Structure 1
Amino acid sequence: MSEQPPPPAWIHWPIRVLAVVLVLPFRLLWELLGLTGRFLARYVGRPLAWLWHRAVVVPAAFLWRYLVAVPVAFLWRHLVALPAAWLWGRALRPALEWLARWLLVVPARWLWRHRRLFLRPFALALHYLVVVPAVWLWAVTRPVRRGLGWLLAGLGRGLAAVLNAGWRGAGWVLGLLYRWLLRPVGRAVAWCWRWTVVPAYRMVAAAGRWVHAAILRPGAGLARAVLVSVGLRR
């Protein structure tokens, strides 16, 4: 594509005058604000920060260290940690060891040494109170278990037949629904999309390209030429 022709030479001076009248006050105001900010930061902000650090932060840290942290650490060590360690080593641990020895270790050793006196009665009790009743109950309930098995098998076959019939019926209904409703609706939507949305999108895209080529690009070239002419851009 051919380049845009430059603006005429006589337009430079009016543009410069307008730039001086309109842009220069804002530029001077911006520079004044920047100069004021740097002056305040250098001659006001830094002294205030130094004064805050020396007059507030350093004394507060000193007071916190020597009036709070050090006394609290000293009190914790000599009033809590050391007494707790002495109490654990001198009283609690020996007491727990003594209780564990005489309540757990010694009875367990005695039971292990005399295990024959307890294992045979325990085995007899387990045999006559658990095993024999369980075997008898299993033998007595055999007809009941067979009846329950037959009933459950019949219920399972009936449920499987119902589910199979329902699955086939649902497939048949879904097939009819797809054939007579979903497929025609899908074709109608596709036709509408093809003959309404796609042409509208193409028209909007063509209009956007025309606006960019006929308005935005020349306007950008003119603005660039104006900024170059007034010296705001190279």
Structure 2
Amino acid sequence: MDLRKPPPEPPQPEGCLVVAVRLPVRIVVLVLVVPVRMVWDALVATGRLLRDAVLRPLGRALLWLARAVFVWPLVGLWRYLLVPAARASAWLAAVLVAVPAVWLYRWVLTPVGHALTWLGRGAGAVLAWVYARLLTPAGHALARLLTAVGAVLALLGTGTYTAVAWLARHLLVVPARWLYTWLLAPAGRAVAWCVRGLGRLLGLLVTGAGLALYWTGRTLLVLPALVLWRRVLVPVGRLLVVVAREVGDALGHAWRVAGRISRAVGRALGTLFRWILVEPARRVYRGVLTPVGHVVRDAVLRPAAAGARAVGRAGREALASARATVRQARAEARRMLFGAPRPPVPVDRREPSGAAARSLGSSTTALTKD
């Protein structure tokens, strides 16, 4: 398998008509397309700005609002209401329906079904005995009786059947065969021959009329239409194809050139905007507002913040001293009214030592006992 690309085809030579149409068409299309491309680029830039600054935050806010209004309540309803209700309903159905149904099937319907099966087997045995002992012998006897009656009737009807057959042959079959052979068959052949001749005549007439109509339509319609197609429509179509192809190429070329022109104009407008507004604003911010802000911060805000912190610290200390004074006054009042509280009894929380403790060093163990 050859994976190499085939060599490119050589360009086809262009005629003078193509060259004559191309230049004015490209000039006219470029003049018409440049404003459209600039408006298009402006709309694209505006749309991107609206998308990034307005529509995307608005969409996020609407999405959060939709979640807060619709999704979260539905989730809470499903999780905290429907699921517990469904579980409670399933438990109630299991307790009130499934368990009684199982009990009814096991202790009522199954014994009744077994009893009915036993009764059905007994009835089937009785019916089988009746069929074997009563109905079968009666049927055999009836069949033998009917066979004997049929044999007698056959012996009596053999002569009658022969006479009826001879009469039907000579009165119906033989005249019908003669009528078919000498009357109906020749008449049918004559009618068929006439019909075939009439069909051939009609075929010849239709063929002649069709040939006449064919040559008339060919002479009056097909040949003029063929001449019109070959001599008029094909050259005009080729000219229109050339013009349309050149207009399409000119539109593509003009769209690309207009894009470059629009980009250059946009960059120039951006540079002009930066020089007129952005740079003066940046210089004013950096040269005027920043030093003023530093002065205000160092001369006003920091001293004010330090004073506020000192005031807050003094207030906290005053509140702490007042809280301690109130606590002490409350303790004194309680002591005056109820007396001094009893001192706590000391409790020895250490491990017992000496003989009270059981350890390996004691002689009370079995291993160290003398």
Q: TM-score, normalised by structure 1?
A: 0.63
Alpha-carbon shift at residue 184 of structure 1 (Å): 1.8
Residue 255 of structure 2, aligned match among 221, 227, 233: 227
| Contact 2:33–2:258 under 8 Å retained in 1 | yes
Tell me the residue number matched to 2:207. 183
Which of 160-169 and 49-58 deviates more? 49-58
Change in 2 beyond 3 A, CA 1:126/1:200: same
State the distance in 1 between where 2:99 and 2:149 align: 59
| Runs (5+) with no aligned partner, structure 1 | none
State the distance in 2 between where 1:56 and 1:159 align: 93
Tell me the residue number matched to 1:39. 59
Alpha-carbon shift at residue 173 of structure 1 (Å): 0.8
Structure with more of its chain in helix, by fraction: 1
| Contact 2:34–2:255 under 8 Å retained in 1 | no
Tell me the residue number matched to 2:34. 16
| Runs (5+) with no aligned partner, structure 2 | 1-11, 261-370
Q: What RMSD in Å do the two structures reach over aligned CA positions?
A: 4.8
| Contact 2:37–2:255 under 8 Å retained in 1 | no
State the distance in 2 between where 1:174 and 1:84 align: 83
State the distance in 2 between where 1:76 and 1:211 align: 90
State the distance in 1 between where 2:249 and 2:111 align: 88
State the distance in 1 between where 2:209 and 2:99 align: 80
State the distance in 1 between where 2:36 and 2:177 align: 98
Alpha-carbon shift at residue 213 of structure 1 (Å): 2.0
User: In the alignment, is residue 126 of structure 1 matched against residue 150 of structure 2?
Assistant: yes
Change in 2 beyond 3 A, CA 1:136/1:179: same
State the distance in 1 between where 2:228 and 2:162 align: 87
Which of 171-180 and 55-64 deviates more? 55-64
Alpha-carbon shift at residue 176 of structure 1 (Å): 0.3
Equivalent residue pairs, number: 226
SS state at 1:230 partner? helix
Change in 2 beyond 3 A, CA 1:47/1:210: farther
Q: TM-score, normalised by structure 2?
A: 0.44
State the distance in 1 between where 2:177 and 2:162 align: 21
Structure whose alpha-carbon radius of gyration is higher = 2
Cα deviations across residues 117-139 of structure 1 (Å, max 9, x unaligned)?
Answer: 4442231133335x457645532
Q: Highest relative contact order (Cα 8 Å, sep 6+), 1 or 2?
A: 1
Q: Quote the sequence identity (%).
A: 11
Which of 18-27 and 66-75 deviates more? 66-75
Tell me the residue number matched to 2:168. 145
State the distance in 2 between where 1:207 and 1:77 align: 94
